[in-house]
Amino acid sequence: MDPVKRRIYRILVKILLLSLASSACIAKESLRYNLGTSGSSIPYENAVDDLRPGIMVELLPLIMDAAGLKTEKVMLSTKRAAQAFKNGALDFDFFSPEWVPPNEANDNFVFTDPIIDVTEYFITLPENVDRYRTRNQIRSDSIVGTVEGYVYFDANTFTPLAFQSESDLILALRNQRIEVAIMEEAVARYWSAKHGVEISFGAIHTKGSLSLRLHSRHKDKVGTLNNVIQKLSAEGKIQSVIDKYADFTI
């Protein structure tokens, strides 16, 4: 073989081997995530009962298996998980674009297509609801119960008081430690029923969709994930999971 052709051939072989090695690494790569460690995000991240482990707990393998992606669950507190995602120790999470602060740079992560709809409310006891029916009634000096580690895009427009979990927020309302808190509708309904605390829904805090939020280093996977989400949605499989939790008014 001509020396020049032989050299070109060797270069092509090396390129092919490097490509195969890279593909093998990608195939073995596990995407790290944190889900359900607070124990209170019911019915999304935590189990309702033995037959209903949680909406996102069911949807995650449905999506990732169909996309051919491996995952690894990491057990972190809500606060530590938020920091781990920022510094790159976690690869993805479930998040709503509506929760991103307007001044926060978003070039470090990308969102998939919407998966499920979620609505957060300012919740309170029935006797106080008239004071929180509109967003304008919540002022900068209004003390609002929040969950430690959660992102509140408008936290500068009220005075947050952080609690460890959604369960603790309902108990704080019952014990009159706070008058109002921000909670997702289905989660609030679950814990109010669990603790026997009657609540009322005031103004909407956010209304949007949960998506998978990935670090930008994984942006090449978004197209595949979007195709899977669209396919599962068209086949009714996502709605089928949601319907199992219909008693939570999602």
Q: Is the pLDDT of residue 80 over 80?
A: yes
pLDDT band at 85; cut points 50, 70, 90: confident
Residue 188 is part of a domain; what is its CATH number?
Answer: 3.40.190.10
Query: What percent of the chain is predicted at pLDDT more than 70?
Result: 86
Model confidence over 55-68: pLDDT tens digits?
A: 999 999 999 999 99
Domain assignment present for residue 189? The answer is yes
Specify the DSSP class assigned to residue 49: B
Phi and psi at 159, nearest 5°, equal: -105, 105
Model confidence over 14-45: pLDDT tens digits?
A: 444 344 334 444 445 899 999 876 778 899 98
Burial 163-197 (b: 16+ CB within 10 A, else e): bbbbbbbbebbeeeebbbbbbbbbbbbbbbeeeee
Range list of H helices, the chain: 3-28, 55-67, 78-87, 166-174, 185-195, 222-234, 237-243
Domain assignment present for residue 121? The answer is yes
What is the rounded average pLDDT for all residues in the chain?
88
pLDDT band at 78; cut points 50, 70, 90: confident
Domain assignment present for residue 222? The answer is no
Domain assignment present for residue 138? The answer is yes
What gap in Å lies between CA 119 and CA 210, rounded to an integer?
A: 10
Structure tokens at 111: 């969102």
Q: Determine the pLDDT at residue 105.
A: 61
* Total number of domains in the chain: 1
Domain assignment present for residue 137? The answer is yes
Domain assignment present for residue 164? The answer is yes
What gap in Å lies between CA 221 and CA 162, rounded to an integer?
A: 35
Domain assignment present for residue 245? The answer is no
Domain that holds residue 146: 117-207
- The type of residue at 16 is L
Domain assignment present for residue 149? The answer is yes
Sign of CA dihedral 87, 88, 93, 95: positive
